[in-house]
Structure 1
Amino acid sequence: MSFVVGTAGHIDHGKSTLVTALTGIDPDRLAEEKRRGMTIDLGFAHMTLPSGREIGIVDVPGHARFMRNMLAGAQGLDAVLLVVAADEGVMPQTREHLEILDLLDLRRGLVVLTKLDLVDSDWLELVQAEVIAALEGTSLQGSDVIPVSAPTGSGLRELAEALDGLLEGSQPRPDLGRPRLPIDRVFTISGFGTVVTGTLVDGSIKVGDEMQTMPGGRLVRVRGLQRHNQKVESVGPGSRVAANLSGVDKNELSRGDVLANPGAIQPARRIDATLTVVTSAPHAVRHGAELLLHTGTAEVGCRVIVLDADEIGPGGEGWVQLYLDRPIAAAVHDRFVLRVPSPAITIAGGSFIDVAPRKHPRHDSAVRESLVRRAAGNVLEEELRKYPRGVTVGALLKATVAPETDVERLHARRLGDWIFSDDAWQSIAARAAHELDTYHGAYPLRAGMAREELRSRLGVPA
């Protein structure tokens, strides 16, 4: 069982140095990063904890200019190391990264106070108190604070043991049989071709599998797999993965694309979601706001349709429908973050409720009630309501990625491969009675309407 741990924190607080000290691997891979002494893009490493538990580590940049790269690395983590330099304390990007982790509902983490060798005990105590206060009211409230010094090695063993303990009770990522690999890197290797990397969720991949890149829809085949720089025949959810693909060129893929089973994901351009505005936001999220959406490894512009009000204020929550500038690959329950493009700040985030909704009227109580039921877990029931003329069971299951056993518990009418909501069936029955009354009024001497004619008039399947 493998886990993925990420870093977070302000620029120059020692995130990459800490990763190198823990793993022996320098996550800064770009020449410009080494020249400038700062992380620009995502970096990756791996290590074995004292218990033998393997973890992959995603190192993110701390500079505000590279926040989009940080967001691409922060999704899909099992735990996080919030890094704070002991000689500086909590800084602006510390707080913004913490807000992002809270919006992503990441609840397992440790605070690492780096540069322990540069401060005395009194100053360290003050910084510890400041950090604990900053965590109040966030998803990381109550996290342990561990002082370390990468140059001297002080505290590194305690950090590894604490991380081991943090992951001790963690459940393995569920294998739902529908693997998704949000792509965070695309590159080529001479003699092998295109390689993509990411954190695998929701299913397993094996060498030889035919897959599809979304939202483009290109069919590819998995030629090879690596996990922690070791060749493997298959990988399960929760693993950092490098997949060598045939059937696609590097230029046809980019960060934000998703590798999935053919037909398992449909491109989404309109999405229903719950939205929470951060308490520190300088203004409300207003109806019609143009913002940047970050989910998985994707970034896309969007327009926010506030469904229940004209705006959602700082610290508030509400229902929204997001209109995206272009399609993305997304799934129900995926977390997301919204940022203002200029001046660039994090303003809100939440969870996707429906990735293929109809366009909704605003200020409609029926819409709100449907979203509440869907968010509470009645996904099949609410999806079925979208089809006034019924839908095949296969199409319903594909739209909701639900197991077929859940269909049997629906309050619905099933005819062969077709299924109808109670409301749809009652509407069809009323229309049938009207059609028959009209027919008999027009042709009183006939025995009745032919079954196929009635079926055709109602638009129901044979």
Structure 2
Amino acid sequence: MPVIIGTAGHIDHGKTSLIRALTGQDTDRLKEEKERGISIDLGFAFFDAPGGERAGIVDVPGHERFIRNMLAGAHGMDLVLFTVAADDGVMPQTEEHLDILHLLGVRRGVFVITKSDLVDGARLAAVREEIEVLTLDTTLEGAPIVPVSTLTGEGLEALRGEIGALLAASPGPPPPGYFRLPVDRAFVIHGHGVVVTGTAIAGAVEQGGTVRVLPGNETARVRSLEVHGVPVPRAGHGQRVAMNLVGVERTDLGRGHVVCDPRLLRLTERFDGHVQIRPAARRPVTSHARVRLHIGTAEVMAKLVILGGGQLVPRASGWAQLVLTEPVLALRGD
């Protein structure tokens, strides 16, 4: 089954440098990113494993100001490369990114101790212990930990082996469902028209088929499909997909929209869900609190109504209803 690899980790802990060392591809595509030396938006690449599998890569920013971009990239992640710099150790966004991945249920990954050439063996052992303690009682508890230097190349082959082993351990067939692709980019190519990209989270789509764009309820035809830059007649769950659409304008869609099967029509402005409060939360969450909902690549303001009233303290969980300021496409299990 196709797999999406994502990155996670604190700013300047070497996520983009690691992807460049593994793939030879630079995921920083914006001028500002290259000038400032930090990732601001999502970056994309692919990884060819020793066993022949090709996996898509989504490289996310680590700065706390760009957490919404990190969330937009994390929604379709099957496997994570989680970087922790050897000189810094665990930092605030290390903890925040781990909380997010735990809430999303990401269970496969490798912790990469980057910049290993800067420290001695005792420091590497200390950082390894920090990671092991931090991940206790999370979905990534027990994940392999590999020290790596992108400067000397030390540890890269061991890391490739760990990634290959995780990719070879297939999680089984993709879940059933209608095609859905939360859009993370939309642009126009002269002579071709509107192109959208995203991670397909369910179902499949074929060249020449019809899709719907939500919200907006626009109908479009799929002129062509690409996966990792290669034209394909069909694409689906677990793949990074680029779609050339006919019948819509660039202004009709962007990040936060969903390209989906035409049979998916119903948007909602309220739904019930199980809510878990981060351990690092500074205060309890009370009923009717205003929150930001991140679903797919969308970000929507909402009111959180705790079923039964009361409040949820850090580490607690319970059922609540989310009342949104604008409609989204939300299905059971999202």
Contact 1:307 1:319 in 2 (8 A): yes
Partner of 1:22: 22
Partner of 1:299: 299
Partner of 1:181: 181
Q: Which has the higher contact order (CA 8 A, sep 6+)?
A: 2
What is the number of residues matched between the two proteins? 334
Contact 1:209 1:222 in 2 (8 A): yes
Please say if 1:97 is aligned against 2:97.
yes
SS in 2 for 1:2: coil
Contact 2:51 2:168 in 1 (8 A): no
* Inter-partner Cα distance in structure 2 for 1:173 and 1:118: 42
Contact 1:173 1:202 in 2 (8 A): no
* Inter-partner Cα distance in structure 2 for 1:255 and 1:190: 20
**Shift, 1:161, TM fit:** 0.8
Please say if 1:106 is aligned against 2:114.
no
* Inter-partner Cα distance in structure 2 for 1:246 and 1:173: 31
**Shift, 1:169, TM fit:** 2.0
Which runs of no fewer than 5 residues in structure 1 stay unpaired? 335-462
The RMSD of aligned alpha carbons is 1.1
Q: 2:236 is matched by which residue type in structure 1?
A: G
Please say if 1:145 is aligned against 2:155.
no
**Shift, 1:187, TM fit:** 1.0
Partner of 1:231: 231
Question: How does 1:241-260 map onto structure 2 within 5 Å?
Answer: 241-260=241-260
Query: What's the TM-score once normalised by structure 1's chain length?
Result: 0.71
Deviations 1:24-58 (A, max 9, x none): 10000001100100000000000210000110000
Contact 1:175 1:236 in 2 (8 A): no
**Shift, 1:278, TM fit:** 1.4
Partner of 1:134: 134
Which runs of no fewer than 5 residues in structure 2 stay unpaired? none
Contact 2:179 2:261 in 1 (8 A): yes
Q: 1:116 is matched by which residue type in structure 2?
A: S
Aligned sequence identity (%): 48
Query: What's the TM-score once normalised by structure 2's chain length?
Result: 0.98
* Inter-partner Cα distance in structure 1 for 2:256 and 2:37: 27
- Tell me: CA distance 1:126–1:177, structure 2 relative to 1, closer, same or farther (3 Å): closer
* Inter-partner Cα distance in structure 2 for 1:13 and 1:278: 23
Q: 2:194 is matched by which residue type in structure 1?
A: T
**Shift, 1:176, TM fit:** 2.1
Partner of 1:321: 321
**Which deviates the most, 313-322 or 166-175?**
166-175
Please say if 1:282 is aligned against 2:282.
yes
**Shift, 1:268, TM fit:** 1.3
* Inter-partner Cα distance in structure 2 for 1:273 and 1:324: 13
- Tell me: CA distance 1:34–1:275, structure 2 relative to 1, closer, same or farther (3 Å): same
Contact 1:172 1:238 in 2 (8 A): no
**Shift, 1:177, TM fit:** 4.6
**Shift, 1:151, TM fit:** 1.6
More strand by share: 2
* Inter-partner Cα distance in structure 1 for 2:223 and 2:172: 26
- Tell me: CA distance 1:316–1:305, structure 2 relative to 1, closer, same or farther (3 Å): same
* Inter-partner Cα distance in structure 1 for 2:318 and 2:173: 29
**Shift, 1:173, TM fit:** 4.8
SS in 1 for 2:151: coil
Partner of 1:3: 3
* Inter-partner Cα distance in structure 1 for 2:121 and 2:17: 22
Contact 2:215 2:258 in 1 (8 A): yes
Deviations 1:234-289 (A, max 9, x none): 11311110001111111111111111111324111101101111122111110010
- Tell me: CA distance 1:265–1:144, structure 2 relative to 1, closer, same or farther (3 Å): farther
Deviations 1:62-91 (A, max 9, x none): 000000000000111111111101111000
Deviations 1:218-242 (A, max 9, x none): 0001011000110111113111100
**Shift, 1:322, TM fit:** 0.2
**Shift, 1:201, TM fit:** 2.1
